[in-house]
Structure 1
Amino acid sequence: MEQIINTSKFIKVMNLLTGFSLMLGALFITSCVEETLPGAGSIADTTPPNAGFSYSSDPTDQLKLVFTNQSESATDFTWDFGDGGTSDEKDPSHTYPDFGAYMVTLTSTDKLGVTADTAIEVQVVEGPYQPFILELGFEDLSLPNGTGDGRDSWRNSDLGGVIQITSSPVRSGEQAAKLTGSSSDQRIGYQLVTVEAESTYDLNFYYTMLDNQVGWLTVSVLSGPVTSHAEAVAATIGSITVNDQSDPDSYVAATVSFNSGSSTEVAVYFFNEGTVETRLDDISIDIAPEG
């Protein structure tokens, strides 16, 4: 006897089985995903932030400090200036109510919410503005933001080629500036520096020369920016020419004293003449002692 199959019921049963299988598969996949996905805030921070800053006085207002942010791997910043004042700027300035010492705290935060703190006691001092020379020791990565090849702050193509770098001899650190003794390869150093008007300063530096050629080193302070050697000569407010060649491996100290006059910006300019190779290191400007 021929068996008659109810097709309609068969199709319904197959559809139910297929749907049930798909539902189990979806539940299995969902369960696996939920088990493998990290929870909120559990992503590893491979580059956590660090906090750091430097500061300097504003030459026009002795109660005002200018802050330079040196934090790394951070996007948001909170400053506490130690006198009740705060800021969320990256590089803020702040005017204090009086001279003295204040504890400044910087909190740096990255996009994952990880924070780093640093606290430095800053000094708000009454008196002449203390100038700041960038890359004063000609070291790599010594600019406030951690960059620089030791000579970036000393470039001026109008006056001559940029200084070379030497690793031996040096007075401190690992590098010093070098000026060639070649008349066809003249190199110079030039940097604009903020100062306070009508103030007396000492520009200090160290140098050494080879002893097998004749030549001189001149270090000058100019009353402002220049674009030619002739302008530099006319704008000189302090200068010294030296040529101690007694020991090429030992650095000799020298000083240029100057008064800023009406200038709030001066230029440090150095170059050598003759055919002697010259090295310089550790250039600084200090407030001249009274008397």
Structure 2
Amino acid sequence: MTHTLIKKYALGLFVLVLMFSLASCYDDGYEEFVPPSGNVNNIQPNTLFTTSLDSDNTLTVVFRSYSTDAVSYQWDFGDGNSSTEADPDYTYATGGLYTVTLTTISSDGLEATATADVSPIFVDFDFTTLDSQVTFNNLTSGASSLEWDFGDGTIVEWELEDTEQDPDFNPVHGYLTEDTFQATLTATDFLGRAFSVTKSIEGLVLSTVPNFTFSVSSLTVQFTDDSLLAVTHSWDFGDGNTSNEVNPTHTYAAPGAYDVTLTTTNEAGVARNITISVPVGGVTPTFPAVIQNGDMETYPTSENNNNDLVDAWTVDPDNSFNNGSPTPFNFWRNDDLEGWVSTPANNGGTGTTDKGSSSGTDAQSAGGTSGRSLKFDSSGERAYQPFEVELGVEGYTISAFVKTETTPIGDVEGTFYILSGEPAGDNELPGLTLASQQVISNDINTWQQITFSFNADATFSFPQSRVDENTDDILVSTDQKFVIFYFVPTNTVTGTNEVFLTDVVINTPGF
């Protein structure tokens, strides 16, 4: 018994020693596992950032980055300056539209970028007063548009395309009372955000406001004073003659356009003046006036696109034709009028667009030449075209063909206007109208020809910014004088009582 137990014990001990030896050999070759670090799968890191304007200084942009595994930052602020901070606050020297780029490097050396547009802006103005005339000095930078509210019901708007040389950027405004007014300048940045500054205009001394109207008969002109608070009057007729009468009559020696200046003074002896060009005796024209696409069928491109056809008769012509070529008509766009006539409350309630369409099925055939017409089927649509004339020329004649589908005999089908300036709405037509002619229905769904004349007693010119836009249009100089052909269809126009216009012709005396 004893001998057997000893043998079993010895055998078990041998096995344990052998196992320990093997385990010792295995442990000696073991290395501890260390998990890998960094971007082992080469996953591209992301970078992004937010922007906001500092409420205390709108030229300062607050940048905050939200990036994956970024160990370095490189900001390009779009104005030539940069930063390596993670979250910089950067102040621009001038307002404007800038594209900002953030580049980050991850711990593995991988690069990520993000971009965003920022529009810092500075809005402020100061002013000087001379009696009741206030000259505003605009200190704003970075604005895409401006609105001046002078606090007396008068508002002036400015757009970037007008340039800072436009008088509406630094306006001069005359107040008509000595009250204190709150003048507000509202500037809109390039991202559509509006910022306003308001200042009190006080200490005004009421001043005279000179103005006059006139009527011409051959070489004789009757002047009518229309001034405010005028105690004395001094007229300079532009030909070397003068008068101190309130409402003088003056006969010129020769035809021409004369710059007449009226200077008035108030009770305090402060003088103001106004100069108006007065055409006398009928100026002999040197070129014929031209109506663009008067037959409504002159296709401007080879694509024969109907939308292109009506561009010459639109309040806001397209920037380009259907084939991508620039339109020669866009220089006369009138955004204010487009907004006014496209508002149903202003046009009888059915119009939401200023633009008529082309019709070939209702073409003029009663004595005209056109194969197409301009069609109006809502009350906001207009025919609008500025054309060049010469100031002082008398006896321009317009003829056109008009018809409506169902307007009763004796009712108005529409009204033609020749305007001496650009209206912001139909409510301004009375002060700009050189001539007007109603179209009275004389038969249902029948073409009738309307003829009327006008004298170019007043004109307007386009600013240099419009001249510079396109070298291929008829606008080449700020010296060119324009009037506007404007047709307002009856406000009963609908899809079942459409109005059609075609064969618009202008005749210039002597041509």
**TM-score, L = length of structure 2:** 0.29
**TM-score, L = length of structure 1:** 0.49
Larger Rg: 2
Structure of higher RCO (CA pairs closer than 8 Å, 6+ residues apart): 1
